[in-house]
Structure 1
């Protein structure tokens, strides 16, 4: 059976291989059977292996979109101390919204959405806050939460440098790696990441529906006695239940887990290093094509992830994003509008099961559109 191939240039869900799609076509099975527990054990351990050792880290699986894993971390592990949230885009802002809903003690550090984080300024905020804590005015900062790849703009935050600051001040770092996990090499130990959130439908190239947290088991065990604020998204309870019998506490998305198993197999075959090289090669082709069409990028190349590019909408007569979207969609390419208030932009993500020839074709179709309206 041949499946129509659409090229998704939105920042997720990403384009998948046919083998990942077909992996969902399995005989019906009760997820409480050992056979399916073996699938979940494989998925959990192999996801961990991409970023760390199963001796020091563990993967906790949830059914849900990526936001579920971020909410699970924030609502499960922060006790009565303070979390510092770095907000330099829509997803940093979302973490602040979660913290607000759960009534967490949090400090928001607003950073530019299009420029690199000022690490000196970040460290100064920590020092100032903690000095007030010592005098009894504030709770000490126990955690820092940051987006790795902020898909609002395509900026890549320097989590290794932030991890070093966290090590200096004995702070646990939480990283939203939603659109960087399995696309950019990550070493949780080297980068000093205690909790990492991601999902099944971006650079791992699986289907949407699985959200997961990769956690330091040492840090996770320290959360055991925190009074629960949640039920479904409680990380320690999900981890404890899974550790004993490789089952989720609640019904998992069975078919999506089969697809994720296949996506993991394919990622291991390609390797994360080679996948990142493929993504970067696609990005270079994209950037060359944008230059040819005089389309300007929002974020400078040095700060870019090379996984997603925000493009400033051209101020030319006849241009309209919806018309551009529809033209490309009818040609088999899906793009997504921007999320930056200061500029009108649209975004092109070059993640998923796409290759240089797909990006070359996209540039050709993009040029056709702009030629037609000029």
Structure 2
């Protein structure tokens, strides 16, 4: 973190910390940026859009100028669908690498798009590996594209995208990355990791507010996408061409959200960019995991796969533990946590991203300890069966 980086401050006006993978706790400066109204076609707002796109492209170190940035209105899922519809040919075939809810959502989206696809489903515990991708591609020459979630926040696992990319391009195929919850904190430089396009959102690691996502893609892929999308509003080529011609969004943009995001981008740069932001989040994770394990909690994942974005913990086995009661107790203490999304065992999640530092994470651990005491839970150890199931599935 640079010496000029903004200091972490408590949420404004007594707001609780959002310990989620986005929306997340934002700075007062980001909130304050939304107090002005903007004309969506005005030159001042066009300048904001241009600067935002430029700053996002700087984060992938595209020294050859091969990529461009296309913002897209809506939630992150809108941008994921736009990427899939625009960059996967209608007569192509997609390999989906899935190990959680968001990989499953990609497959569901491809169903809606009538794109032929196959899935490697790794369950909740393990990442897809390069050798598995290689084997799948060699077995099916019809596969043209591979899609992977960078950080699968339903479990908190950080997938090995560099390894996957090497396998994909060694077999002459193309890679698309859903980096919704990782971009801005985990490196995704195009000189180190090859891909055709990646997608992320305003309200994740760059610490803006919800309202739009963005796709960063190769310009030749954007050109090739003309006429391919199933949707008027989610057509990336049309958005890109119109924006480059006029400087404007095709349809009404979330003006306040975009201006707040530019403020968040400036703070991201001041913190040291991807490296600085990622270091703070990793510190948050380490403090959180050490403290929660000290209370008896156990993480779903082994340390090797723990992301600095969000951590999944097993629910305690003690008969007095009830997640809803634990949630409400944590909220009263100023922390909103996240329920689990696992299908096999009961769990909950605690995010490490947003306007939080190690001191806040120590407060989270203390709040968890106090909440357990209030519930009469002396030990947060998980059910033995949960650990057995984890070992079995991870074998």
Match of 2:183, SS state, is coil
For the Cα contact (< 8 Å) 1:8–1:333, is it kept in 2? Answer: yes
Partner of 2:121: 110
Measure how far apart 1:112 and its partner are.
Answer: 3.0
Q: What SS does structure 2 have at the residue aligned with 1:24?
A: helix
Q: Residue 69 of structure 2: SS of its match in structure 1?
A: strand
Deviating above 6 A after TM superposition, structure 1's stretches of 4 or more consecutive aligned residues are none
Contact kept, 8 Å, 1:188 with 1:194, in 2: the verdict is: no
Aligned length: 363
Q: Report how far residue 4 of structure 1 moved.
A: 2.6
Determine the structure 1 residue equivalent to 2:73: 63
Q: What is the match of residue 134 of structure 1? A: none
C-alpha distance in 1, partners of 2:197/2:46? 24
The equivalent position to 2:41 in structure 1, one of 16, 32, 35, is: 32
TM-superposed CA distance for 1:81, in Å, is 1.2
Once the two structures are TM-superposed, the CA of residue 313 in structure 1 deviates from its matched residue by: 0.3
- Number of the residue aligned with 1:126: 137
TM-score, scaled relative to structure 1? 0.94
CA gap of 1:288–1:188, structure 2 versus 1, over 3 A, is same
Q: State yes or no: 1:173 paired with 2:175.
A: yes
Inter-partner Cα distance in structure 2 for 1:32 and 1:170: 42
The gaps in structure 2 that reach 5 residues or longer are 1-10, 378-395
Residue 310 of structure 1 is matched in structure 2 by 312
Q: Tell whether 2:54 aligns with 1:53.
A: no
Report the 3-state secondary structure (helix = DSSP H, G, I; strand = E; otherwise coil) of the residue aligned with 1:141: coil
Give me the whole-angstrom Cα distance separating, in 1, the residues matched to 2:361 and 2:199. 29
Instruction: Name the residue aligned to 1:341.
Output: 343
User: In the alignment, which residue of structure 1 is the partner of 2:98?
Assistant: 87
> Do 1:23 and 1:262's aligned partners in 2 also have CA atoms closer than 8 Å?
yes
Asked if structure 1 preserves the Cα contact closer than 8 Å seen for 2:130 and 2:166, the reply is no
CA distance in 1, matches of 2:348, 2:290: 17
TM-score (norm: length of structure 2): 0.89
Q: Which residue of 2 aligns with 1:299?
A: 301
User: Residues 48 and 58 of structure 1 are in contact (CA less than 8 Å); yes or no, is this contact kept in structure 2?
Assistant: yes
Q: 1:3 aligned to 2:5?
A: no
Q: CA RMSD in A?
A: 1.4
CA distance in structure 2 between the partners assigned to 1:6 and 1:208 by the alignment:
17
Q: What displacement does 1:2 show?
A: 5.4
Task: Indicate yes or no: 2:12 matched with 1:12.
Answer: no
Change (3 A) 1:2 1:288: closer
Query: 2:185 is matched with which residue?
Result: 183
Is contact 1:76-1:230 (8 Å) kept? no
Deviation per residue, 1:259-318 (Å, 9 max, x gap): 000000000010221111111111111111111111111011101112211000011121
User: 1:96-245 residue pairs with structure 2 within 5 A?
Assistant: 96-130=107-141, 140-224=142-226, 226-245=227-246
Q: How far apart, in 1, do the equivalents of 2:216 and 2:183 lie?
A: 11
